[in-house]
């Protein structure tokens, strides 16, 4: 045990508050009850002004003396206790390990506190939203799942990491990039380029695109994980950098962009600290195949699922801007989607040497 007095974190205080509710109610012989914000679609709105998908104000009571809620109440307290342990020991862990840590057979019974992880995961989300603490602040991490290179100096665990001096491989973006863990010491880039797929990130890293165009190159190898989104958001907020998003031209690519920009419906309560409403869509646009003369045979036929998804996107409030309606409808009427990889049909370095420089020069992006 450390001898020096430990400072109790704000989050720890909030978690202790969960126990206090129980103790307090017991002393007053009342039914202990939490008020948990409702996380269903009906309680989600899009704030046009802020450009964010947000959670509304509706709350739900979860009380102990209610046959239908008692077990869930007990589980919530157990999970809060495990999260509190993380704060006290200053450790991070995964959703899965919290499940295992909180799993016990209840004394004198054959019943487990939790049977599957499906029971503990939503409770962690409940606590996130009730306590207004990001998952990362609760010390819950996912896997490292992204890479970054560029003129960016970070301090991670006391080590100064210069992302301009890590070769082609770059720095492996941790799952938790909160200021408590990762300090953005310096960044002299002009913008952040957030690339959907690792293969284009590798192309750009290999070609030192970040040096010729003075940017931070970021990827999450697919749908960007929370750590990558938070890092982009922090660079946007703290270093005032514009964020450009580069995805495949398909409904999935549009969706990835929209989650980066205004958050997602499922995790609406996090938009305020995860979303980047000013992010721009750099491409691939459905106008690009013609503009950059990609042959039709490198396009891929839209399947029924693509068409249905694109039509759904057309209906979303945040895709109502005229340019976006044109963008999506043009894809639908062409009947084709295009991957960024298809640019290689012209030349292996077409992305680095022609496509992106032209897009940047012409400010050819969508908002």
Instruction: Note whether 25 binds a copy of itself by CB under 8 A.
Output: no
CB of 101 to a copy of itself, least distance (A): 5
Instruction: Fill in the per-residue mask, 291 to 320: x = in contact with a copy of itself (CB under 8 A), - = not in contact.
Output: ----x-xx----------------------
Instruction: Note whether 159 binds a copy of itself by CB under 8 A.
Output: yes
CB of 88 to a copy of itself, least distance (A): 11
Instruction: Note whether 174 binds a copy of itself by CB under 8 A.
Output: yes
The CA angle 155-90-16, to the nearest 5 degrees, is 130
Span near a copy of itself by CB under 8 A; candidates 169-177, 273-281, 312-320, 325-333: 169-177
Instruction: Note whether 166 binds a copy of itself by CB under 8 A.
Output: yes
Task: Quote the CA–CA distance of 196 and 222 in Å, as a whole number.
Answer: 5
Instruction: Note whether 154 binds a copy of itself by CB under 8 A.
Output: yes
Using the minimum distance from each CB to a copy of itself, give the nearer residue, 104 or 321.
Answer: 104
Q: Which residue blocks in 28-157 are alpha helix, DSSP H?
A: 70-89, 95-102, 117-131
Q: Which stretch of DSSP H or E encloses residue 218? A: strand 215-219
Instruction: Note whether 344 binds a copy of itself by CB under 8 A.
Output: yes
Span near a copy of itself by CB under 8 A; candidates 21-29, 57-65, 172-180, 279-287: 172-180
CB of 17 to a copy of itself, least distance (A): 22
Q: Could you give the C-alpha distances from 180 to 110, 144, 204, 231, in angstroms and in order?
A: 41, 17, 30, 13
- Which residues are annotated as catalytic? 100
Instruction: Note whether 85 binds a copy of itself by CB under 8 A.
Output: yes
Q: In what order do the strands lie in the sheet with 152-156?
A: 159-162, 152-156, 182-187
Token pair listed for 306: 């693509």
The CA angle 216-218-222, to the nearest 5 degrees, is 165
Task: Quote the CA–CA distance of 128 and 200 in Å, as a whole number.
Answer: 34
Q: Which of 291, 293, 366, 289 is nearest to 334 (CA)?
A: 289
Using the minimum distance from each CB to a copy of itself, give the nearer residue, 332 or 344.
Answer: 344
Residue found under tokens 């269903």: 40
Q: Which of residues 191-220 bind a copy of itself (CB under 8 A)?
A: 197-199, 201-203, 206
Instruction: Note whether 264 binds a copy of itself by CB under 8 A.
Output: no
Instruction: Note whether 143 binds a copy of itself by CB under 8 A.
Output: yes
Task: Quote the CA–CA distance of 35 and 58 in Å, as a whole number.
Answer: 10
Task: Quote the CA–CA distance of 296 and 255 in Å, as a whole number.
Answer: 24
Span near a copy of itself by CB under 8 A; candidates 45-53, 161-169, 283-291, 320-328: 161-169
Phi, psi of 267 (to 5 degrees): -115, 45
Span near a copy of itself by CB under 8 A; candidates 18-26, 28-36, 70-78, 149-157: 149-157
- The sign of the dihedral angle between the CA atoms of 252, 237, 265, 317 is negative
Instruction: Note whether 93 binds a copy of itself by CB under 8 A.
Output: yes
Span near a copy of itself by CB under 8 A; candidates 41-49, 66-74, 157-165, 316-324: 157-165
Task: Quote the CA–CA distance of 20 and 107 in Å, as a whole number.
Answer: 24
Site of interaction with a copy of itself (CB under 8 A): 85-86, 89, 91-94, 96-98, 100-101, 103-105, 112, 141, 143-145, 147, 154-161, 165-175, 181-182, 197-199, 201-203, 206, 221, 295, 297-298, 339, 341-345, 348-349
């Amino acid at each position: 045990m450390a001898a020096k007095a430990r400072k109790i974190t704000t989050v720890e205080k909030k978690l202790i508050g969960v126990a206090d509710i129980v103790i307090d109610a017991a002393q007053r012989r009342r039914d202990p009850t939490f008020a948990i914000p409702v996380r269903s679609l009906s309680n989600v709105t899009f704030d046009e002004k802020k450009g964010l998908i947000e959670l509304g104000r509706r709350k739900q009571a979860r009380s102990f003396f209610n046959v239908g809620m008692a077990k869930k109440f007990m589980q919530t307290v157990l999970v809060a206790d495990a999260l509190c342990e993380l704060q006290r020991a200053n450790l991070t862990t995964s959703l899965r390990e919290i499940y295992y840590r909180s799993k016990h057979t209840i004394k004198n019974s054959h019943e487990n506190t939790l049977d599957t992880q499906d029971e503990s995961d939503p409770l962690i989300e409940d606590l996130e939203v009730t306590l207004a603490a990001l998952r990362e602040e609760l010390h819950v991490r996912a896997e490292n799942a992204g890479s970054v290179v560029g003129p960016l100096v970070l301090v991670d665990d006391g080590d100064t990491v210069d992302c301009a001096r890590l070769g082609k491989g770059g720095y492996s973006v941790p799952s938790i990039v909160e200021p408590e863990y990762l300090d953005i010491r310096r960044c002299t880039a002009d913008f952040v380029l957030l690339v959907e797929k690792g293969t284009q990130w590798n192309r750009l890293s290999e070609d030192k695109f970040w040096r010729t165009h003075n940017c931070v190159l970021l990827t999450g190898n697919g749908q960007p994980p929370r750590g990558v989104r938070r890092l982009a958001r922090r660079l946007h907020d703290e270093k005032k950098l514009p964020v450009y998003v580069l995805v495949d031209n398909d409904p999935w690519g549009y969706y990835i962009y929209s989650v980066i920009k205004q958050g997602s419906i499922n995790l609406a309560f996090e938009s305020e600290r995860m979303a980047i409403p000013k992010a721009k869509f750099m491409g691939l646009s459905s106008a690009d195949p013609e503009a950059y003369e990609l042959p039709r045979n490198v396009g891929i036929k839209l399947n029924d699922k693509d068409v249905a998804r694109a039509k759904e996107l057309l209906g979303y409030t945040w895709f109502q801007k005229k340019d976006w309606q044109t963008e999506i409808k043009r894809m639908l009427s062409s009947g084709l989607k295009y991957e960024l990889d298809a640019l290689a049909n012209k030349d292996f370095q077409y992305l680095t040497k022609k496509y992106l420089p032209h897009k940047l020069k012409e400010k050819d992006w969508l908002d």
